[in-house]
Amino acid sequence: MKLLDRYLTDQLDVLRTTGVYRRLRVLQGPQGGRARVDGRDVINLSSNNYLGLATHPRVVAAAEQAARLYGAGSGAVRSIIGTFDIQEQLEYKLAKFKGTEAALVFQSGFTANQAVLGSILVEGDLIVSDVLNHASIIDGIRLTKATRAVYAHNDMDDLERALSRAKGKYRKVVVVTDGVFSMDGDIAPVDRIAELAAEYGAATIVDDAHATGVLGVNGRGTVSHFKLPSEGWDITVGTLSKAVGVMGGFVAGSQKLREVMEHRARPFLFSTAHPPAVTAAVDAAIDIISSREGAALIDRLWENTHYFRRGLQSLGFDTGVSETPITPVIVGDEARAMRFSEELFENGVLATGITYPTVPRGKARVRTIVTAEHTEQDLQEALDIFQRVGRMCGVILEPELASSVPA
Ligand SMILES: *Cc1c(COP(=O)(O)O)cnc(C)c1O
């Protein structure tokens, strides 16, 4: 016990001395474009609730009704108790949404990656992974006996080198990438990845956590964004926790893949399924995303994205390589990024500071995410606060320094 306590004390000391220690903020109500957090009303630029569906009346009503009809919990894992009819209906709907034969829902996007990677990768396989892939992909790979290769971020020459080195050496080869990279907001070139994979006989997986409901026709994701035919891509992982606004993950692909996961995926076999309220709420959210209302929300999301990013850039902030509603404001120094985030909050904007190990050392940032719910007034007010606080924290220059006009 003493040794453990010493270890914990040391860990916390390191966090504090490097300036990255934080405590969790407390949300005191629903989250929208604005939210009440730690007793303060702030403009919310920290949520993945891209379309505002977390609080959509039809989504909430579906959850309430399902709880009344089916109860609060699911009782056991699906391989033992069976599967709710509404769960099957949702999976059918998700497969249609993605244009695949089948889909299977998991407790989270995190477990969906574990499920699919663990079901298909065995000893003698090679998994080729983008260096910036999400932690849940990295962990999912670690739990398998496949050989790993990592390629430089979105670098198709490097991917091709890895594939060509692997030729004839493995039972099968799988390429995995995030669709939208969650810390930089850039998009994986899945059109090019699909070509390379076809050329070298590799299978493809994209994790569309930040792309589902955001990119492509009706928010169908990265494969749709690049206008690839759905047969041109093997497997899509998605989350139901971000734009879909509720909780969960899914894997969309062939019927055979679904059946193998039903028998092999450990999160499926050893962890209880979502409660009915979650299933029904997700179902209602997918209906909304696929409707005219959803299309309008996605349009609004992109208008807000462009407005806000242009605003940050014209103030002199470094927004990196973002192409999506995720816009990082790169600060560099870890402690300065945390202080910047803290001061933004004190001045009315919730935008989280992100440091190592979530992003590389020296690339600390404040990450912003706009949603369809922000009004132009919200975003203009946020930009004004970014300008004021950015100057105060030395993230952008004071006007007299920035100006080339002599005084
Ligand atoms: C957020 C995220 C996940 C995890 O999804 P949850 O549903 O929150 O577990 C997985 N992959 C990527 C790329 C993500 O951004």
User: Do both 42 and 103 map to the same domain?
Assistant: no
pLDDT averaged over the chain?
A: 95
Across the range 320-336, mean pLDDT stands at: 95
261: tokens are 């996961």
User: Do both 214 and 242 map to the same domain?
Assistant: yes
Cα–ligand 1 centroid distance for 405 (angstroms): 47
Nearest to 97 by CA among 245, 255, 289: 289
Domain membership of residue 303 as a residue range: 24-50+298-402
User: Do both 82 and 173 map to the same domain?
Assistant: yes
How many other CB atoms are there within 10 angstroms of residue 91's CB atom?
Answer: 21
**Residue that finishes a domain, picked among 289, 311, 342:** 289
Q: Which residue has the higher pLDDT, 303 or 400?
A: 303
For residue 358, pLDDT over 90 is answered with no
Cα–ligand 1 centroid distance for 182 (angstroms): 9
**pLDDT tens for residues 246-256?**
999 999 999 99
Across the range 319-340, mean pLDDT stands at: 95
CATH code of residue 91:
3.40.640.10
User: Do both 342 and 283 map to the same domain?
Assistant: no
Q: What percentage of the chain exceeds 70 in pLDDT?
A: 98
pTM score, two decimals? 0.94
Catalytic residues: 182, 210, 242
With a Cβ cut-off of 6 Å, ligand 1 is lined by 108-110, 134, 136, 178, 182, 207, 209-210, 239, 241, 249
Q: Whose CA is nearest to atom 1 of ligand 1?
A: 209
Nearest to 239 by CA among 355, 137, 124, 125: 137
E-assigned strand segments in 107-213: 126-130, 147-151, 173-178, 203-207
Nearest to 205 by CA among 177, 243, 170: 177
**pLDDT tens for residues 266-300?**
999 999 999 999 999 999 999 999 999 999 999 99
What pLDDT does residue 407 have?
43
Q: Whose CA is nearest to atom 3 of ligand 1?
A: 109
Cα–ligand 1 centroid distance for 110 (angstroms): 5
Do residues 265 and 77 make contact, with C-beta atoms less than 8 angstroms apart?
no
Say which residues have a Cβ less than 8 Å from residue 251's Cβ, sequence separation at least 6. Answer: 103, 104, 106, 112, 115, 116, 235, 236, 237, 238, 257, 258, 261
Q: How many domains does the chain have?
A: 2
